[in-house]
Amino acid sequence: MLLVDESAAVPENDWTLAHAEEWRMYARLTERERAVLQYVASGFTAPEIGKKLLISAKTVDTYKQRINQKLSLSHRSEYVTFALKLGLLA
């Protein structure tokens, strides 16, 4: 599974301190929004994410809209960049 620690606490080290604002933004997301963010950043489509999370593709799109609003992201590449900054992708 792709999910990281659900507490979304900001780790205390030099690398993550450089991305403290991103961690604060990430912490504002719900557990489900975090999962969708990670799956989108990993290259999964809405139907694929829906199957993994047992929700419809339309619901995935709704979560993506909420993520876009909360994080000011609009393209998959921005999801990838954001996730990489936080070390969410392996």
Check residues 5 and 78 and name the one with the higher pLDDT: 78
Percent pLDDT > 70 in the chain is: 80
Whether residue 21 lies inside any domain: the answer is no
pLDDT digits (tens, 9 = 90+) for 34-65: 999 999 999 999 999 999 999 999 999 999 99
Residue labelled with tokens 């301190």: 17
Residues with Cβ < 8 Å from 68, sequence gap 6 or more? Answer: 74
pLDDT digits (tens, 9 = 90+) for 10-21: 455 555 566 788
> Is pLDDT of 7 > 60?
no
Instruction: Give the CATH number, domain containing residue 78.
Output: 1.10.10.10
Whether residue 65 lies inside any domain: the answer is yes
**pLDDT band for position 9 (cuts 50, 70, 90):** low
| Domains held by the chain: number | 1
